[in-house]
Amino acid sequence: MSGPLRAEPSPSGPTFFLGVLPPPVLSARILAWQRALGHVITAPHVTLKAPGHLSAEQLLACREVCRRTPPFNLQLGSVQTFGGRVIYLSSEGSGLAALHAALVAAVGHPAGEFELDSYHPHLTLALSYRPIQPPWPEVLASALHEFADLGRAPLTFQVRQATLFRKDTPGQPYRDAERWALDG
C-alpha cells in the first residue's frame, strides 16, 4: 500500500476500482490455481465499484461511504460462468449491493454497464480473453474440481474493509493502493 491518494480527474490519469478481498487462505488458493494455468489476473476480489477515472473528491466521497457502512457478511460459493467469457465464484451478501449503490451515488454516475441494476457480484477466477494454457472447457472443469468444496459448503466471512485498487497506465496491473475500514 502506498501513501496518500493523489487522483487526477483527467481520463489520461490513473484508474481505480474498489473491491472486497476474500480471506488470505482462499486468495492464496485461487492464486495458486491461476498460476498453474499461467493466468493470474489481479488480486482475487469481489468488485464493489467498477474501474474508472475518479477525482480526489470522488475518492474522498467513496472513503466516507465506507466509513459510514457497517461490516457485513459475504458468502463465496459455487463455480459459475458468464457464458464462455468468465469463470467465477458466486457471491452473496446483504450489504454488498447496498454498498455498491452508495459508492456509485458518491461518484455521481455509474462507471459502465456492469453497475446498479446490472451489478452481479462475483469473484473472477478466469477470463477467456486473457492468455490461458488449456482449452476453455478444461479450465472450467479444473475450476469445478478445485473449488467444488465451496459449492457444497460456501465460505462465509465478515467484510470489514474495502480495498482501493489503482492502475496508473494502460496495460499495467492494478495494485492494492489503500484499505478503507467499514466503520458504520
**Each residue's pLDDT tens digit in the chain (184 positions)?**
444 454 434 457 899 999 999 999 999 999 999 999 999 889 999 999 999 999 999 999 999 999 999 999 999 999 999 999 999 999 999 899 999 999 999 998 877 778 888 899 999 999 998 888 899 999 999 999 999 999 999 999 999 999 999 999 988 889 999 999 999 8
Q: Is residue 160 part of a domain?
A: yes
Q: Is residue 5 part of a domain?
A: no
User: What pLDDT is attached to residue 130?
Assistant: 87
Beta bridge partners of 156: 75
Q: Is residue 130 part of a domain?
A: yes
| pTM of the predicted structure, to 2 decimals | 0.89
Q: Is residue 6 part of a domain?
A: no
Task: Of 55, 28, 59, 58, give the one whose Cα is nearest residue 44.
Answer: 28
- What string of H, E and C letters represents the secondary structure of 19-54? EECCCHHHHHHHHHHHHHCCCCCCCCCEEEEEEECC
The H or E element spanning position 92 is strand 86-92
Q: Is residue 3 part of a domain?
A: no
Q: Is residue 1 part of a domain?
A: no
The count of structural domains within the chain is 1
Conformational region of residue 38, where left means phi above 0, alpha means psi within -120 to 50, and beta covers everything else:
left
User: What pLDDT is attached to residue 172?
Assistant: 86
CA distances from 127 to 13, 124, 162 (A): 25, 8, 23
- The residue segments making up the domain with residue 119 are 15-181
Q: Which residues contact 64 (CB under 8 A, 6 or more apart)?
A: 106
Q: Is residue 61 part of a domain?
A: yes
Q: Read off the CATH number of the domain in which 38 is found.
A: 3.90.1140.10
Q: Is residue 129 part of a domain?
A: yes
Helices (H), the chain: 24-36, 56-68, 94-107, 136-146, 148-152
User: What pLDDT is attached to residue 89?
Assistant: 98
User: What pLDDT is attached to residue 132?
Assistant: 84
